[in-house]
Amino acid sequence: MSSTAPYQAETTSPKLLLPAVLLCLVLGTIGIHRFYVGKIGTGILMILTAGGLGVWTLIDLVMLIVGAFRDKEGRKLTQWT
């Protein structure tokens, strides 16, 4: 029995990818997708910088699509629906 097996469920975020991707596409420059996953501080920074002039928003969108985006607790968003 693997010692990491009981902790597998904790590595997946309860937040869904589909709403995060849609929020990033529609309101990404003001960081609404970051508020959705609990990253309030960086969400405020995105509001103040207009999503890093769009660059930060684009990076977040790519990370969401490839499944590398994490929530506030460091858990990956893996489920689309």
Kind and range of the H or E element at 42? helix 40-53
For 61-73, write each residue's pLDDT tens digit: 999 999 899 999 9
Residue type, 4: T
CB 47 within 8 A of CB 27: no
Q: How confident is the model at residue 10 (pLDDT cuts 50, 70, 90)?
A: low
Distance CA 48, CA 67 (A): 26
In this prediction, residues 45-60 reach a mean pLDDT of 92
pLDDT of residue 1: 47
Largest Cα–Cα distance in the chain?
A: 49
